[in-house]
């Protein structure tokens, strides 16, 4: 029974891993003292409109009971040219068999669209800025004991890297990247001991713009004044 309870917990916290895009400091576009501009890379010129975030590698969620992983995730939305208004209108997590290895887990996005996020150009250390995904909420249904449902939600913050930054987390991918580094997430429901109250998330996404309708291959770059 203890092993099954551990599997349930790991399956549910995968929800948070897959839902994550982004995370090291607040990326609210209103928190910057400077300015932010989203540009096409490398040709230049302001960019606003549809964006797509694609998971690079795997996302890892850690709790006091163990770790879980998710290998697939895509989020679609839009952004303004000044970095404000980052919104996600759709989100998918996991493959046909769900997300997680210990048990089958079906993950679905909740309360879409996720609005109020943004990108801030604020170079610090190795990163070029911060990214916020606000209002996200996801639900996981774990296929044990007839199905157990847990929901997680909150605001995710991330570190942002330009495609020409040599310190980007996945150097072989020449795209803007959003990196979550041990970001906390919180259980929304239900109450009880089967769902963990908190977890930490580590994941990296590539963020691209749209070149033609439905084709996301436009490299993006954040610039401005810190």
| pTM (predicted TM-score) | 0.81
Domain layout of the chain by residue ranges: 2-225
Any idea which residue has 């607040």 for tokens? 26
Distances (CA, A) of 195 to 64, 136, 179: 12, 18, 25
Distances (CA, A) of 151 to 136, 210, 225: 11, 31, 38
The pLDDT, as a whole number, for residue 4 is 44
The pLDDT, as a whole number, for residue 53 is 96
195 Cβ neighbours under 8 A, 6+ residues apart: 9, 12, 148, 150, 187, 189
Collapse the DSSP code of 195 into the 3-class scheme (helix H, G, I; strand E, B; otherwise coil) and give the result: coil
Rg (CA), the chain: 17
Collapse the DSSP code of 197 into the 3-class scheme (helix H, G, I; strand E, B; otherwise coil) and give the result: coil
Collapse the DSSP code of 142 into the 3-class scheme (helix H, G, I; strand E, B; otherwise coil) and give the result: strand
What is the percentage of the chain residues whose pLDDT exceeds 90? Answer: 47
Estimate to the nearest angstrom the gap between the alpha carbon of 36 and the chain centroid.
20
Strands 220-225 and 66-70: unpaired
Q: Is the pLDDT of residue 12 over 90?
A: no
More confident residue, 21 or 225: 225
pLDDT band of residue 104 (cuts 50, 70, 90) is: low
Rounded Cα gap, residues 47 and 220, in angstroms: 8
The answer for 172, left when phi > 0, alpha when psi is -120 to 50, beta otherwise, is alpha
């Amino acid at each position: 029974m203890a092993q099954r309870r551990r599997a349930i917990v790991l399956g549910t916290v995968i929800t948070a891993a897959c839902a994550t895009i982004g995370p090291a400091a607040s990326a609210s576009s209103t928190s910057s003292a400077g300015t932010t501009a989203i540009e096409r890379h490398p040709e230049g010129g302001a960019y606003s409109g549809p964006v797509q975030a694609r998971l690079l590698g795997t996302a890892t969620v850690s709790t006091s009971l163990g770790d879980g992983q998710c290998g697939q995730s895509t989020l679609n939305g839009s952004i303004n040219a000044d970095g404000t208004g980052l919104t996600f209108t759709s989100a998918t997590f996991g493959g046909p068999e769900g997300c997680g290895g210990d048990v089958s887990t079906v993950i679905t996005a909740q309360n879409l669209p996720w609005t109020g996020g943004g990108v801030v150009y604020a170079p610090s250390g190795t990163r070029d800025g911060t990214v916020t995904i606000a209002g996200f909420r996801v639900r996981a249904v774990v296929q044990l004991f007839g199905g157990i449902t847990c929901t997680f939600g909150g605001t995710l913050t991330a570190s942002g890297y330009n495609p020409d930054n040599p310190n980007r987390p996945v150097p072989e991918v020449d795209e803007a990247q959003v990196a979550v580094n041990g970001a906390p997430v919180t259980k929304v429901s239900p109450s009880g001991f089967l769902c963990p109250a908190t977890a930490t998330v580590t994941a990296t996404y590539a963020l691209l713009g749209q070149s033609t309708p439905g084709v996301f291959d436009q490299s993006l770059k954040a610039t401005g004044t810190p």
